[in-house]
Amino acid sequence: MATRRLAERVTPLFLGTMLALLYVFLFAPVIYLVYTSFARDTVWPFPWRPNFKAYMSLIDRRAYQEALWNSLGIGLGTATLSMTLSAMGSIAVLKYRHRWRGLFSIIMISPMFVAELLIGISTLIFNRKVLGLPGNVPSAVIANAVHGMSFGFLIMLAQLVRYDWRLDDAAMVFGANPPRVFWHVTAPNIWPAMLGAFVITFLLAFNNLEISFYNLGAVPTLPSLAWGSLRYGLEAELFALAALVNGVVFLAFVVVYVLMRLGIVRFGYRGI
Amino acid sequence: MPKGREAVPTSRRLFHRPETRFMLLGLPGVMFVVIFLLLPIVSVIIFSFWRTEKYEIYADWNLDNYRTVLFEGTYLIFLLRSIVTAVIVTAACLAYSWPVAYFMAKYGGRYRLLLVLALAAPFFTGAVLRLVALQAIMGPIGVINMALGLIGVPAIEFLMFTKVASGIGIAYLYLPFMVTAIYLSLLNFNFQLLNVAKVNGARPWRAFITVTWPLNWIGTAIGITLVFIPCLAESLTPTFLGGPSGKLYGSVLGLQFDQTGTWALGSAMGVLLFVVCCVVIAAMWLTINLRRSGFTGASD
Amino acid sequence: MANVAVGIYDVTKRFGRTVAVDGANLEIHQGEFFSLLGPSGSGKTTLLRIVAGLEEPDSGRVVIDGGEVTGLPPYVRKVGMVFQDFLLFPHMNVGENILFPLKMQGIAKAERDERLGWITRLLHIDGLEERYPHQLSGGQQQRVALARGLISRPALLLLDEPLANLDRELRKEMEVEVRRYQRELGIPFVYVTHNQEEALTMSDRIAVMRAGHFEQVAPKYDVYSAPATAFVASFVGHANRMRGRLKAANGARAEIDWSGLSLEVPAVAGTRVGDTVDYFVKCEHLSIGPAASPPRFGDNRLEGTLRDVIFKGQVADYIVVLANGTEIVVSEAVGLPRVKTHDAVAVTWAPEAGNSFRAEGA
């Protein structure tokens, strides 16, 4: 009996320690990166003498700014496209009990199981050699959106399985046409799922190297800039940019989390 | 007659039908996948039977590319090396993810959402920079080895530009996917069932094997696939962390496109990679028995 | 014809291979409380959804208030509806929920507020306007759903098993209230339910549905006491079924042999000696007494042993095992028959209290 009670105490402690170690493993590089962004020497940034040189020089380094704008463009374009398509797809599959909904779901999820490298080279071949298109931001957006859409679709499915689509029926009986049903009833209930899909696909595309790399030609993005400058050693400006991105996203998450805790926004449909 | 009761044109009646709505909403996504994923893959398959010369591609059908990939030594070795790496890394991720996900789902309480969101935090930063930082921690002049040097312990050599280092790097990139997949599965798992099993005389490990594991196998299988496939195709990490002998299939495949311009050969390598991925997905699919998985989502 | 609130003509709806509604014809009158009663899967909800426009019939026509609505989408039909599980919009408070139909119709704010005041007072939910659905009790949610259905003074209110998820006490209370609102407003109600007590309490007329068609459409008293088919006889009320072979027919009465017991039953038109006949008699139409009690001329009288008495409050069910081994149930006031368990008892009733039909599938 005593051993059993001991086991019941120790098991969560042990598992919790594993979780803590996982976080250390996952966050250590990110923390190191933020730390180094304030250092003079990125190769051996010890001891710490904080300075903001890297941040200051970002302001007048055209290359970094261009890459940042390209990455933002790819991120936002991909997120918008992915969110729209995955929202439409998940609504179709969940709301209408059509006999093809299983097939549609499998097709929508399938890109997730195709390696990024394969998506990259196959769209490169298709765009360049079959369609004769040059590598540019729109083709990178499309290639990223193939991948992003499947993630968005899965996120929305997971959040919306419990949504009661008969609410849409009710709205329609009370005089709302389909656009108004979406605006007044569906969207207010499913926006957290759509936002989740948007944020995740934005982050995946913003930081994507392999898919974008093959579809961009000479257009620089932040990941490709980092990849390209690897052999010469990274400049502190890249660390600074990454730290800034982390800061912005982290802040956004904190704001959303606080709003949720205060009950100002409700995250996810919970029914009545 | 009251407003809105006039005869309805056929087009509007058609629009109102559930089948039409389903197609209008669902087809764009499906067509998107068909046009921008399926067609490109088909063109890769076609190109793999063609010939490249001086960055130009010629449509004369042949099997030379496959002959090269399958029989000219090195490529197949790279593929096998990739498969072995992927198996080891996936197994390690699985072994570590289960306890962690179990803890989050069972003991996370009101902080569960925060715990799982924290898994997404590393993705705020691009993979290249995170690997640079990882190397700066593990590498020869990294934090770990320098710290060991300060207290007089010899450096851990396997962390420096080795297969182990590149394995740790790959695991670092994809571990969160596995944890999330298993966590989401456990989130919908009714832990009360374990008490039922225990009341009926099952010991904890027995309850886990007969109840918890089979009911969460789908989530686990998705996690395994989501880690295994990118591992198999990984090109970035080995090139960077693995040192000269750590090169994997993905890096060699990438070279065909951005360095040597041998697109047809690269296509054949891509097809081979795709086939291996399909085999893995099919194998995972065969292990899933929907009726015994507790899965009720799409059956009603 | 101006009296017809809803007309359903030759409506058929299939889902794959199953026929949910099979050539239904029905006219519901202005000011009427009409119930569609049937077991689950009988097509009653499908028929209601067809009237609302949520399903399109494969063939046939639907007319509301004199205007053809077949093929029109729900949002132009201007009907009210109360759904099972209420389906209140979780992101809107009570006031916004109730006002939703008026907002969709583009009615001016001043009038909206006036009508909100009217309906909340009528349904005794004034003061709840700022609350959210998850903060309400089941009964309050029910009233809000009713208010939302009624606020636009629709030509028709459709109710889809609205009381199914309330507990028994509250359901009894709401049955009376729903009936009262219908009377006060004079709006025709079409009420779908599988619960015969609800249908009998509230309705003017009842349509009993089975497998997509109507078994009987009649005033509720007729459905109860003069069932048109064997199905209605067994589904409405609690009845004993006695299946027997026709031995002799003499005018209005016939004699059947029910597993060795002889019974007098009302004659069934078009049956001949040797045919199988189903005879239904409601439990409360039977009387039970000590076996020694004298028989009355013309009544059926069966002797048996009282196996059990199931106390139900005002009445009790007396379960009697007959000489042929079958059981029949008698509902009578508690304590009135002077019998105890294991007593020899006699069950008597007038043959006309029951209804006989040619047996189905025999």
User: Which of C54, C69, C104 should be substituted to probe chain A, the one whose Cβ sees the most A Cβ atoms within 10 Å?
Assistant: C104
Output the CA torsion sign for C167, C169, C172, C175: negative
Q: Do C81 and A172 touch (CB under 8 A)?
A: no
The sheet with strand C300-311 has its strands ordered as C287-290, C344-349, C300-311, C315-322, C327-333
User: Which of B5, B19, B21 should be substituted to probe chain C, the one whose Cβ sees the most C Cβ atoms within 10 Å?
Assistant: B5
Structure token digits, residue B144: 């770990």
| Model pLDDT, residue C218 | 94
Q: Where are the beta strands (DSSP E) in chain B?
A: 51-53, 56-58
User: Which of B13, B19, B25, B276 should be substituted to probe chain A, the one whose Cβ sees the most A Cβ atoms within 10 Å?
Assistant: B25
Please check whether residue B208 is in contact with residue B186, taking contact to mean a CB–CB distance below 8 angstroms: no
Q: How far apart are CA C148 and CA C158, in angstroms?
A: 12
The full DSSP string for B209-257 is IIIIHHHTHHHHHHHHHHHHHHHHH--HHHHHHS-GGG--HHHHHHHHH
Predicted confidence (pLDDT) at residue C208 exceeds the cutoff of 90: yes
How remote is the C-alpha of A11 from its chain's centroid?
Answer: 34
CB-closest option in A167, A188, A266 to C87: A167
User: Which of C83, C97, C158 should be substituted to probe chain A, the one whose Cβ sees the most A Cβ atoms within 10 Å?
Assistant: C83
Predicted confidence (pLDDT) at residue B2 exceeds the cutoff of 70: no
Give the A window 58-77 contacts with B, CB below 8 Å.
none
pLDDT in tens, B167-213: 888 999 999 999 999 998 898 888 888 888 888 888 888 888 888 89
Predicted confidence (pLDDT) at residue B5 exceeds the cutoff of 50: no
How remote is the C-alpha of A137 from its chain's centroid?
Answer: 18
Q: In this structure, what are the phi and psi dihedrals at residue C5, rounded to the nearest 5 degrees?
A: -85, -45
Q: Do B12 and C76 touch (CB under 8 A)?
A: no
Whether B147 has its CB under 8 Å from any CB of chain A: the answer is no
CB-closest option in A175, A176, A272 to C90: A272
Q: Do A23 and B118 touch (CB under 8 A)?
A: yes
Tally of CB atoms within 10 A around A106: 10
Q: Which of A16, A91, C214, A82 is nearest to B99 (CA)?
A: A16
Coil/strand/helix, residue C288: strand
| Model pLDDT, residue B99 | 93
β-pair type (C33-37, C205-210): parallel
| Burial category of B230 from C-beta neighbours within 10 Å (exposed 0-12, middle 13-18, buried 19 and up) | buried
Q: How far apart are CA B174 and CA B162, in angstroms?
A: 19
| Model pLDDT, residue A211 | 87
Please check whether residue A81 is in contact with residue B226, taking contact to mean a CB–CB distance below 8 angstroms: no
Whether C105 has its CB under 8 Å from any CB of chain B: the answer is no
Structure token digits, residue C308: 């059990």
Coil/strand/helix, residue C135: helix
ipTM of the complex: 0.86
pLDDT in tens, C308-335: 988 888 888 999 999 888 999 999 887 7
> Which residues in chain A have Cβ-Cβ distances shorter than 8 Å to B221?
none
pLDDT in tens, C22-66: 999 999 999 999 999 999 889 999 999 999 999 889 999 999 998
User: Which of B10, B16, B17 should be substituted to probe chain C, the one whose Cβ sees the most C Cβ atoms within 10 Å?
Assistant: B16
Cis peptide before A178 (omega within 30 of 0): no
Please check whether residue C162 is in contact with residue C12, taking contact to mean a CB–CB distance below 8 angstroms: no
Predicted confidence (pLDDT) at residue A97 exceeds the cutoff of 70: yes
Q: What percent of chain A has pLDDT over 70?
A: 91
pLDDT in tens, C226-284: 999 999 998 998 899 999 999 888 788 899 999 888 888 998 888 888 889 999 999 98
CB-closest option in B1, B12, B17 to C67: B1
Predicted confidence (pLDDT) at residue B293 exceeds the cutoff of 50: yes
Model confidence at B297, in pLDDT bands (50, 70, 90)?
A: very low
How remote is the C-alpha of B79 from its chain's centroid?
Answer: 17
Structure token digits, residue C201: 């309490």
Closest Cα in chain A to B269:
A118
Whether A272 has its CB under 8 Å from any CB of chain C: the answer is yes
pLDDT in tens, B222-265: 999 999 999 999 888 877 777 777 788 888 888 888 777 788 88
Whether C38 has its CB under 8 Å from any CB of chain A: the answer is no
Give the A window 148-187 contacts with C, CB below 8 Å.
164, 166-167, 169-177, 180, 184-185
With DSSP H G I counted as helix, E B as strand and the rest as coil, what are the percentages for chain A, rounded to 5?
Answer: 75, 0, 25
Whether A232 has its CB under 8 Å from any CB of chain B: the answer is no
Q: Do C89 and A176 touch (CB under 8 A)?
A: no
Q: How far apart are CA B155 and CA B134, in angstroms?
A: 16
Where b means 16+ CB within 10 Å and e means fewer, B247-279 reads bbbbbbbbbbbeeebbbbbbbbbbbbbbebbee
Alpha-carbon separation of residue C162 from C10, C165, C214 (angstroms) = 27, 7, 22
Q: Which of B109, B292, B115 is nearest to B213 (CA)?
A: B292
Q: Do A101 and B26 touch (CB under 8 A)?
A: yes
Q: Which of C131, C198, C186 is nearest to C160 (CA)?
A: C198
Please check whether residue B232 is in contact with residue B270, taking contact to mean a CB–CB distance below 8 angstroms: no
Q: How far apart are CA B168 and CA B241, in angstroms?
A: 9
| Model pLDDT, residue A232 | 73
CB-closest option in B5, B13, B16 to C69: B5
CB-closest option in B129, B184, B270 to A121: B270
Question: Which subunits sit against A, judged by 3+ Cβ pairs under 8 A?
Answer: B, C
Q: How far apart are CA B273 and CA A118, in angstroms?
A: 8
Output the CA torsion sign for C160, C164, C165, C170: positive
Instruction: Tell me which DSSP letter residue C30 carries.
Output: T
| Model pLDDT, residue C293 | 75
Q: How far is A173 from chain C (nearest CA, A)?
A: 5
Output the CA torsion sign for A175, A179, A184, A185: positive
The sheet with strand C253-258 has its strands ordered as C261-266, C253-258, C239-250, C276-282, C355-358
Q: Which of C244, C248, C250, C247 is nearest to C276 (CA)?
A: C244
Q: How far is A40 from chain B (nearest CA, A)?
A: 15
| Model pLDDT, residue A196 | 86
Structure token digits, residue B175: 């571990």
Q: What percent of chain B has pLDDT over 90?
A: 33
Give the B window 160-179 contacts with A, CB below 8 Å.
172, 175-176, 179
Q: Which of A209, A201, A220 is nearest to A153 (CA)?
A: A201
Q: How far is A226 from chain B (nearest CA, A)?
A: 7
Predicted confidence (pLDDT) at residue B7 exceeds the cutoff of 60: no
Q: If you average pLDDT over residues A167-179, what whole number do you get?
A: 92
How remote is the C-alpha of C144 from its chain's centroid?
Answer: 24
Q: What is the dihedral of CA C108, C113, C114, C120, to 10 degrees?
A: 140
> Which residues in chain B have Cβ-Cβ distances shorter than 8 Å to A91?
25
Tally of CB atoms within 10 A around B76: 14
Helix (H) or strand (E) holding B18: helix B18-33
Q: If you average pLDDT over residues C141-152, what whole number do you get?
A: 93
Q: How far apart are CA C146 and CA C144, in angstroms?
A: 5
| Model pLDDT, residue A160 | 86
Whether B6 has its CB under 8 Å from any CB of chain C: the answer is no
Structure token digits, residue B90: 């996936």
Q: How far apart are CA C352 and CA C252, in angstroms?
A: 10
Q: How far is A176 from chain C (nearest CA, A)?
A: 5
Closest Cα in chain C to B17:
C56
| Model pLDDT, residue B211 | 87
Model confidence at B10, in pLDDT bands (50, 70, 90)?
A: low
Q: Do A272 and C133 touch (CB under 8 A)?
A: yes
Q: Do C72 and B8 touch (CB under 8 A)?
A: yes
Q: Which of C48, C27, C49, C29 is nearest to C37 (CA)?
A: C48
Whether B12 has its CB under 8 Å from any CB of chain C: the answer is yes
Closest Cα in chain A to C158:
A173
User: Which of A17, A18, A22, A259 should be substituted to probe chain B, the one whose Cβ sees the most B Cβ atoms within 10 Å?
Assistant: A22
Tally of CB atoms within 10 A around B160: 18
Predicted confidence (pLDDT) at residue B9 exceeds the cutoff of 60: no
Q: How far apart are CA C107 and CA C121, in angstroms?
A: 20
Question: Which subunits sit against C, judged by 3+ Cβ pairs under 8 A?
Answer: A, B
Please check whether residue C322 is in contact with residue C328, taking contact to mean a CB–CB distance below 8 angstroms: yes
Please check whether residue A116 is in contact with residue A240, taking contact to mean a CB–CB distance below 8 angstroms: no
Whether C306 has its CB under 8 Å from any CB of chain B: the answer is no
Please check whether residue B36 is in contact with residue A123, taking contact to mean a CB–CB distance below 8 angstroms: yes
β-pair type (C33-37, C189-193): parallel
Q: What angle do CA A21, A22, A27 make, to 5 degrees?
A: 100
Q: Do A272 and C105 touch (CB under 8 A)?
A: no
Q: Which of C307, C294, C310 is nearest to C344 (CA)?
A: C307
Structure token digits, residue A119: 């998506």
The overall average pLDDT reported for chain A is: 85
